[in-house]
Amino acid sequence: MLAHINIRNFAIADKVDVEFGPGMTALTGETGAGKSILVDALGLVLGDRADSSVIRHGSERAEISVGFDIRNHAAATDWLKDHELDMDGECQLRRIINREGRSRGFINNQSVPMQSLRELGERLVDIHGQHEHQSLLRSSVQRQQLDAYAEHGTLLSDINSRYREWAATRAALEQARCAREDRDARIDLLRYQVSELDALGVSKAEVTNLGKQHDRLANAEQLLTACQRGLQHLNAETGTSVYQLASNTLAELEELSRLDNRLESVTVLLNEILLLVQECTDGLRGYSDGLEIDPGLLQQLEERMGVLHDLARKHHCKPDELPEIHEHLREELDSLEHADRDLAELQARLDSQTNAYREAAQRLSASRRKAARKFGKQVSADMQHLGMPGGVFEVAIRHDRDGSFTPQGMDSIEFMVSTNPGQPPSPLSKVASGGELSRISLAIQVICLKNETIPTLIFDEVDTGIGGGIAEIVGQKLRALGAGRQVFCVTHLPQVAALGASQIQVCKLTGDDTTRTRVRHLDRKERIDELARMLGGVKITSQTRKHAREMLAQGQSGPAEDRSQAGQS
């Protein structure tokens, strides 16, 4: 439920702070006062597009903040938790539009993209604009209304999923058929490339080892010379060496350690040094014995590396990437050589998915037909109370089994209406006048919304084009809808406003070269004055005020038979 809204510097509103309660609230005011400002501001904080033109003249930014009570609203609570935006059960939304055109959104004081505001907003508020009845002429909207009434969420999800699977397989099959046309030439090239790489028989490890082996053979003489020099320094059979010097020093210190045993630790270290020198000598000797200077082998390695580099240039890769290229080419060749088998498998899969889609489409169509009969009866019943006695509403459904597949099934759906007794129903777009269309649209909205779970509903002058007793019936329907949810109705009709559980007045104040909007709750006396204004215009007589008082008293008591009629819709 919408708990409050705070508006700063939006349009002609400099500062608006309003709290809201449950039930139906009527929003009234003179023409041009800005009754839709609250609706427009709420739309912005729920993610509607905005630019700097909405900012009040002389201000640098507009800011709208709203708070919702979501204690009994699982869908909004779960969404906030899933997005890690929950905060002790609160739901605070804020939107800031700057003069430079930048716009920022916040949920529970955390910055979020506009898409997040829209996603959450769809779970909190449903806004029905004053021209929404025109959209009812579109076949797509008619289908959506019927599906919403029939609660086809599961069936629509199923057929949408089957459609996507079918479309993906059909695209893959078409791609495979197109690829087959160039397949032969590609197979010839791939066979040559794969056979060339097969003959080369290279692995990634070989490329690495080739480089190391080549470096060793190419520098064998330098390595051998260094080893011989090292052996001479470490432990030469003649001349001075590290081993000879350390051995002589050890012999001398061992003799002296008899005089001072503190030299024993040094002699121990010298013994270890002699062992390490001997190990180094053995290691160098073994390494040098294993070195070979083989010009023939070196030439073979260079030739092998030359072949690898030439082939790598041909495939636009590095030599160590050739094994991976080889595998990819082999897989592509195998795929093309078995393309006919793949085509057959794709065709079999497409046939199966086609049958599954048709079955799902038939299930959806059957459910639509069943719901359409009940839906038509309910709308027809409401038409009798909305100034169209004898009117009939039907939903024509044509299932084209040989038609195109769509994510919504294979039905064409059209709303049919007869507004005069004895006339056969014809398409809604060809029969209903503007006023009739508005009333039929409102009846459909009220009927369909009973199946929705959105807690706050806003009707922005959806009662345009009606009046008198019909206006009162419209008000009763909105009030009945507000028995279980929060309903706002922007209206210029006193018959509708009198039925609201509460009433908010929007007026425009001018002075000192400024214009601003004032929004305030009306008490009972103020409601009577406002209803009298709506009834009588500029000149309000005592009779007008009496009429307004009676209208409010009757609207708040609500005759049982009227409430019963409203509840049937």
Q: How confident is residue 566, by pLDDT bands cut at 50, 70 and 90?
A: very low
- Contacts within 8 Å (CB) and 24+ apart, 480-483: 480/563, 480/566, 480/567, 480/569, 481/24, 481/446, 481/449, 481/450, 481/457, 482/22, 482/23, 482/24, 483/23
Whether residue 29 contacts residue 506, with contact meaning beta carbons closer than 8 Å, is answered with yes
- Residue 93: strand pairing partners: 66, 107
168: left (phi over 0), alpha (psi -120 to 50) or beta: alpha
DSSP 140-153: HHHHHHHHHHHT-H
Handedness of CA 306, 307, 313, 316 (dihedral sign): negative
Instruction: Say whether pLDDT at 360 is over 90.
Output: yes
Supply the pLDDT for residue 188: 83
Single out the residue of 180, 173, 211, 192 nearest to residue 304, CA to CA. 211
Angle at 355 between CA 349 and CA 356, to 5 degrees: 85
Domain annotation for the chain: domains and CATH numbers: 1-130+461-569 (3.40.50.300), 185-337 (no CATH)
Average pLDDT over residues 95-122: 91
Task: Give the separation between CA 301 and CA 215, rounded to whole angstroms.
Answer: 10
- Residue-level pLDDT at 196: 86
Binning pLDDT at 50, 70 and 90, where does residue 296 land? low
The two tokens of residue 89 are: 């059960």
pLDDT higher than threshold 50 for residue 444? yes
> For residue range 367-377, what is the model confidence (pLDDT) as tens digits?
999 999 999 99
DSSP annotation of 453 reads: -
Tell me which H or E stretch contains 94: strand 90-98
Question: What is the arithmetic mean of pLDDT over 490-497?
Answer: 90
> What's 321's DSSP letter?
G
Q: What is the pLDDT of residues 497-511, one digit of tens each?
A: 999 999 999 988 887
Q: Per-residue pLDDT tens for 425-437?
A: 999 878 766 667 7
Burial 260-276 (b: 16+ CB within 10 A, else e): eeebeeebeebeebbee
Report the percentage of the chain scoring pLDDT > 70. Answer: 88
Q: Which of 75-89, 313-327, 546-560 has the lowest mean pLDDT?
A: 546-560
pLDDT at 65 over 90: yes
Q: Tell me: pLDDT of 564 over 70.
A: no
Q: Which two tokens stand for residue 470?
A: 């019909």
- Please answer whether residues 40 and 22 qualify as being in contact, where contact means their C-beta atoms are separated by less than 8 angstroms: no
Confidence of residue 285 (pLDDT cuts 50, 70, 90): confident
Of the pLDDT bands very low, low, confident and very high (cuts 50, 70, 90), residue 396 is: very high
When pLDDT is cut at 50, 70 and 90, the band that residue 147 belongs to is very high
Mean pLDDT of the chain: 84
